[in-house]
Amino acid sequence: MGLWALAWILVPLRAHEDTKPVSSRELGLADASSQPAVVGAPNLSLNWKDGRGGLIRVTRHGGTEAVALPGLFERPAGWHSMPGTADLVIPAGDYLVESTRGMGVAIRRDRVGVGPAQVTRVFLEAVPFVDPSATSLRAVNTHLHLLLRSRLKMGVDLVSRAQADAYLRTVGESDDLDLVYVSYLTQPGVDIVSNDYTADDLRAFSLGVTRFVDGIEHRHGGVRVIDPSSPRLPTGKEAIYTQDNSRVAMSYGHVLLLGLGRHRVSASLGPGMSDTPDATDGTPLRDGMRQTRDEGGAVVWCHGSQGAEWIPSWVGGWLHAQNIYDGGTEGTFETVHYPLLNAGLRVPFSTGSDWGVWDFSRVMVESREPLTHAGFLQELAAGRSYITNEPFLEFTVEHARAGDTLALAAGRAVRVRARAMGRSDFIRLQLVYNGRVVHEAPARRSGAHHQAEMEVDVVLDEPGWLALRVPPEKPYTIRSRYTGPGINVFGKAIFAHTSPVYVTIAGRGRSDRAAVEALSVRLEAALAEIDQHGRFRDQRERDSLRRLHLETRENLRARLEPRD
């Protein structure tokens, strides 16, 4: 077994990072300190020529600190989301006004003087270097919740339901999103304002550029383990689930049930996440997945590879796609997607943003019509997708695109054509074959954006998969505020990755023994955690849960058997 496989096996099973408290230092990295705002009559009027909203950043000419823009929604790195028109109050002075929209519009810079009394009008124009509508590309955020009074989680303080409504509409438009899933999620003592939205509310929000669709984040948390070295023991009145991941014994994981109406299944399960005193670990996530698929919904595993049900869900064929970089830091492409792909599974890539919209994280699919849930599910399940937080990707292997299978009679060279275009310098574009980088092209400036291209012949001598990626140059986290090459305008490490083109040779697909063994070892660790920490009403509950893992173990063993 290779070192990469061993390292991946040793990753601990733990609850998702979204339960961790956010330090003030982390928040400071994410959101630049702003100059204090002034009170008075509006003296700066910003107007988009096409009437659509966008992103705006205002700094003192020659300075670096962003100016606070009351009435607009603060975003990372000093940016703000605004509607088509905004009348603002800022201190008198000379300013640099930067404007853009979504990912495919170049940054425009206007130097303006603002006086104390008169109104300075600035007319903004979106100049795209790539037009998604011309290529039928549609942008989807699979994972979003909204909190009130929680800047630490959201990056912006929402103080009312009306403000949350405006945030959805404004950010959807400024970020050029076509479809957003607003996922129902429960946690005792947390005011999740997006839980109040009805199907009628989401339809009303969808009258503009962005459509909003219902979903559920279906998740499990097991019993809390008391650490005897802790300076004090918790009292009986304290919540059994805290924001300290080390105190949660196990988790089955987190899965998005997209397109499923809220309240169709319980959002949170297990004694570690439920406010029901007698909750047990007897209900697997599998039950919610089955109902979602029966009702035409999409099932997407979120937050990387965390959770004891992750492997059974993929091996059992219950999932449509795999999220990564959707609010946490659980894993990388190499540790989340590649082991599954090398074991012979088909794994479409997906992503989202979780608590608020900290980044551009999105799934790109093609649709000539305005995108609906049904249209998105069709493209996602087929693997005709790529994920990105800024670069646009183009990728073909001979006649095949992402999600297709290229059937070869024997190993041979194939022609790969690929291109990436991004507003920021994404440094490099890589071609990956069965997890190995086999070709790389540098990003070069091309006018107002950066671009990398490759047209290369690659010898395919074993079955497997090919994909295109822009690897993060720094550890990905939504709360970072990096600067320099490899970083997008929000200060986040740039990533992009296509879903694979699958390759069969003489009818055989990929089934790497080391990858299957790595999955098997991790499955056994998950089963041991359930046996050690699971709380069940009776043996029948325990056996039902164990059966999911035992069936998966047999399935994995079958993959290790020699095939004719």
Mean local confidence (pLDDT), 267-278: 84
Digit-coded pLDDT (tens) for 308-333: 999 999 999 999 999 999 987 778 99
Q: Of the residues 67, 90, 124, which one is the last residue of a structural domain?
A: 124
Digit-coded pLDDT (tens) for 166-176: 999 999 999 99
Residues 255 and 295 in one domain: yes
β-partners of residue 112 are 95
Question: Which H or E element spans position 162?
Answer: helix 161-174
Residue 253 CA to residue 511 CA, distance in Å, equals 25
Dihedral, CA atoms, 129, 134, 137, 141, nearest 10 degrees? 60
Sign of CA dihedral 445, 447, 448, 453: negative
Domain count, the chain: 2
Choose between 172 and 562: higher pLDDT.
172
pLDDT band at 39 (very low <50, low <70, confident <90, very high): low
pLDDT band at 247 (very low <50, low <70, confident <90, very high): low
Residues 71 and 216 in one domain: no
455 within some domain:
no
DSSP structure string for 163-221: HHHHHHHHHHHHTT-SEEEEEE---TT--BGGGG--HHHHHHHTTSS-EEEEEEEEEE-
Choose between 556 and 319: higher pLDDT.
319
Residues 264 and 173 in one domain: yes
549 within some domain:
no
The label of the residue with tokens 């047999």 reads 554
Residue 175 CA to residue 480 CA, distance in Å, equals 19
pLDDT band at 233 (very low <50, low <70, confident <90, very high): very low
Q: Residue 32 above 50 pLDDT?
A: no
Q: Of the residues 103, 124, 145, which one is the last residue of a structural domain?
A: 124
- Could you tell me if 341 and 500 are in contact, meaning their C-beta atoms sit under 8 angstroms apart? yes
309 within some domain:
yes
449 within some domain:
no
Digit-coded pLDDT (tens) for 274-318: 777 788 999 999 999 999 999 999 999 999 888 999 999 999 999
Residues 335 and 196 in one domain: yes
Phi/psi of residue 271, nearest 5 degrees: -65, -20
435 Cβ neighbours under 8 A, 6+ residues apart: 334, 338, 341, 342
pLDDT band at 240 (very low <50, low <70, confident <90, very high): very low
Choose between 561 and 298: higher pLDDT.
298
Residues 91 and 225 in one domain: no
Residues 38 and 174 in one domain: no
Residue 243 CA to residue 240 CA, distance in Å, equals 10
CA–CA distances in Å: residue 456 to residues 25, 391, 414 = 45, 20, 8
Predicted pLDDT at 201: 94
Residues 264 and 378 in one domain: yes
For residue 308, give the DSSP letter: T
β-partners of residue 74 are 80
Q: Residue 27 above 90 pLDDT?
A: no
Q: Residue 57 above 80 pLDDT?
A: yes
Helix, strand, coil percentages for the chain (3-state, nearest 5): 25, 30, 45
Half-sphere exposure of residue 463, counting CA atoms within 13 Å on the CB side? 18
Q: 123: phi > 0 → left, psi -120 to 50 → alpha, else beta; which?
A: beta
Predicted pLDDT at 250: 81
Mean local confidence (pLDDT), 383-411: 96
Digit-coded pLDDT (tens) for 480-507: 889 999 999 999 999 999 999 999 999 8
pLDDT band at 564 (very low <50, low <70, confident <90, very high): low
Predicted pLDDT at 249: 64
194 within some domain:
yes
Q: What global pTM score does this model have?
A: 0.90
Predicted pLDDT at 306: 86
Q: Specify the CATH number for the domain of residue 374.
A: 3.20.20
106 within some domain:
yes
416 within some domain:
no
Q: Specify the CATH number for the domain of residue 56.
A: 2.60.40.10
Residues 12 and 156 in one domain: yes
The label of the residue with tokens 């540790």 reads 335
Predicted pLDDT at 563: 58
Residues 113 and 176 in one domain: no
Share of the chain above pLDDT 90, in %: 66
Residues 208 and 325 in one domain: yes
Residues 184 and 90 in one domain: no
Choose between 394 and 130: higher pLDDT.
394
Q: Of the residues 385, 418, 453, which one is the last residue of a structural domain?
A: 385
Residue 411 CA to residue 405 CA, distance in Å, equals 14
pLDDT band at 35 (very low <50, low <70, confident <90, very high): very low
430 within some domain:
no
Residues 100 and 145 in one domain: no
Among 40-44, 118-122, 391-395, the least confident range: 40-44
Residue 257 CA to residue 554 CA, distance in Å, equals 27
Give the structural domain span for 312.
3-21+137-385
If you average pLDDT over every residue of the chain, what do you get? 87
